[in-house]
Amino acid sequence: MNDPLQKSLDEHLADLALDVPPPRNLWPVIARRLERRPRRARPLVFAAAAGVVGACMASALTWAVLHGRPGSPAAPLVARAPTAARAPTAAPAPSFDEPRNANYVAARDSLEVSFRERLALLDPATRAQIEASLAVIRQAHEDIRKALANDPACPVLEQLWQSTWHDELDLYERVVRGTQPTMTRT
């Protein structure tokens, strides 16, 4: 980018001030909202957090189901920690906006297809347990979505939102990994 055109444009951009004073004093409105902050927002955050706890438990339960049934086709020979490395498609450094990313959504959809295919191979009881776990995670996600609607810029809610996306992907991946053919294990 050393051509004169780009250099000239960069000079124009560099001349822009980063700071632009607000045309009016915004502090009084902010201060009023800070005073009533705890009673208004915290219950939503706690409710969403409770949902995430449920989602985490559901995810852990799925792991236990897949790894703890000796007769299950999903039982691996070597147990892994619940936070074992994820497949590349499942760990694209998520953010609050991730579901809007076409690549991310495509990767997630692809993983879900594999999940559905593998789920069909499990016995009905295990399948029902996993479906129940997925329902808990999605309910938590929905609860957080509602909380975000009231407080869209809350970083705590954003973290919870990320957690549920992680949990859903984690569940997909555990099922997919847990149902790998025996010959692939070491």
Partner 1 sequence: MLQIARGMDAAAEPVELIAAAAGGDLVAFEHLYRQFAPRVYGLCLRLTGQREAAEDCTQESFVAAWRALRDFEQRSRFTTWLHRIAVHTVLARRRGLRVQYEVAEPASGLPDVADPGGEAPPLDLERAIARLPEGARHVLVLVGIYGFSHAEAARTLGVAEGTCKAQLHRARGLLAAALGLETSS
> Where do contacts with partner 1 occur on this chain (CB under 8 A)?
1, 3-6, 8-10, 12-24, 26-27, 29-31, 33-34, 37, 41, 93, 95-101, 103-104, 148-156, 158
Q: Is the CB of 43 or the CB of 152 nearer to partner 1?
A: 152
Longest Cα separation, the chain: 70
For the bound state, the minimum distance from the C-beta of residue 115 to partner 1, rounded and expressed in Å, comes to 23
* Residue 117 to residue 127: CA distance in whole angstroms: 11
For the bound state, the minimum distance from the C-beta of residue 137 to partner 1, rounded and expressed in Å, comes to 21
Q: Is the CB of 97 or the CB of 131 nearer to partner 1?
A: 97
Q: Is the CB of 157 or the CB of 175 nearer to partner 1?
A: 157
Buried b (16+ CB within 10 A) or exposed e, 120-152: eebeeebeebbeebbebbbebbebbeebbeebe
* Residue 108 to residue 110: CA distance in whole angstroms: 5
For the bound state, the minimum distance from the C-beta of residue 26 to partner 1, rounded and expressed in Å, comes to 5
For the bound state, the minimum distance from the C-beta of residue 178 to partner 1, rounded and expressed in Å, comes to 30
Q: Is the CB of 1 or the CB of 81 nearer to partner 1?
A: 1
Q: Is the CB of 13 or the CB of 78 nearer to partner 1?
A: 13
Closest CA to 172 of 52, 50, 90, 77: 90
* Residue 153 to residue 142: CA distance in whole angstroms: 17
Q: Name the DSSP class of 87.
A: P
From first CA to last CA, the distance across the chain in angstroms is 50
